[in-house]
């Protein structure tokens, strides 16, 4: 099994294993490869009392780094999790991308990464008003080695050999036509059931199929630009 660290490491230490970086600042997770803009970097809303990041309870819509920090070295080793207390065991977050749009392409379009065995918990994703349960699987690296995690900090303890899971999502199953972009946020509901002692720990969300979001130029800017061109024409005629 292959090991790595999911939590933030001391600056200057070496990050190796499941998550690594390339000169293009891509994030490699097993056989998954994401550019920075392909990782979720926004939390638009949150419901619940708080979530646990291994050391403290936070509101992820305020303290967003644990799920949206897209630094190529530290981002993939953070997470947010449920806890077995009222208000913490049933939470929902709305996530989004600021630089890209998720597109319904070939195969899965989104990959959501979790820690620990989630078979006793309930995790749903809502897109375009449709809600479906996530289906989890283990995943390997290019050599076929199953991916697990070492150095996962939880309540003062360091956990090794932690199971790493992925849930792939085809947005076509949520009514998005082939080649079209997803316009709604990723709404994820996470419930740690009373029968489960395992937290729901969401570590990272990446887009497998995406297109760059074009930021429109405000009309006032176009008018200002045309005005400058007009002034340039007047200046030329006066010469």
| Angstrom distance (rounded) from CA 194 to CA 212 | 42
- Identify which has the larger pLDDT, 88 or 229: 88
Question: What pLDDT was estimated at residue 227?
Answer: 52
- pTM for the complete prediction? 0.81
| Angstrom distance (rounded) from CA 229 to CA 239 | 16
Confidence of residue 10 (pLDDT cuts 50, 70, 90): very low
Report the range of poorest mean pLDDT among 6-10, 42-46, 92-96, 219-223: 6-10
CATH number corresponding to 19-214: 2.60.120
Residue with tokens 């082939």: 178
Question: What pLDDT was estimated at residue 19?
Answer: 55
Question: What pLDDT was estimated at residue 53?
Answer: 94
Question: What pLDDT was estimated at residue 236?
Answer: 46
The CB density around residue 140, as the number of other CB atoms within 10 Å, is: 12
- Identify which has the larger pLDDT, 5 or 190: 190
Q: What is the mean pLDDT of residues 197-219?
A: 83
Question: What pLDDT was estimated at residue 28?
Answer: 87
Report the range of poorest mean pLDDT among 75-79, 81-85, 138-142, 185-189: 75-79
Each as own residue / partner, the long-range contacts of residues 18-21 (CB below 8 Å, 24 or more positions apart, any chain) are 18/76, 18/141, 18/147, 18/148, 18/149, 18/164, 19/76, 19/77, 21/72, 21/73
Which tokens hold the place of 201?
Answer: 């720990």
Confidence of residue 217 (pLDDT cuts 50, 70, 90): low
């Amino acid at each position: 099994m292959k090991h790595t660290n999911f939590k933030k490491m001391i600056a200057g230490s070496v990050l190796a294993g499941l998550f690594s970086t390339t000169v293009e600042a891509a994030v490699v997770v097993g056989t998954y490869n994401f550019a920075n803009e392909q990782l979720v970097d926004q939390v638009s809303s949150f419901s619940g009392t708080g979530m646990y990041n291994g050391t403290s309870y936070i509101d992820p819509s305020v303290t967003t780094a644990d799920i949206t920090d897209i630094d190529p070295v530290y981002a993939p080793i953070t997470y947010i999790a449920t806890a077995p207390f009222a208000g913490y065991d049933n939470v929902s977050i709305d996530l989004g991308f600021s630089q890209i749009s998720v597109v319904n392409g070939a195969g899965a379009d989104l990959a959501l990464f979790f820690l620990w065995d989630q078979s006793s918990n309930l995790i749903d994703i809502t897109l375009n008003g449709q809600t479906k349960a996530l289906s989890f699987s283990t995943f390997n690296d290019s050599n076929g080695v199953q991916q697990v995690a070492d150095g996962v900090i939880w309540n003062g303890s360091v956990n090794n050999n932690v199971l790493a899971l992925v849930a792939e999502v085809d947005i076509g199953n949520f009514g998005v036509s082939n080649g079209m972009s997803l316009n709604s946020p990723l709404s994820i509901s996470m419930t740690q059931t009373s029968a489960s002692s395992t937290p729901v720990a969401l570590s990272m969300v990446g887009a497998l199929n995406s297109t760059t979001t074009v930021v429109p130029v405000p009309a006032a800017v176009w008018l200002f630009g045309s005005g400058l061109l007009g002034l340039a024409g007047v200046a030329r005629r006066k010469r």
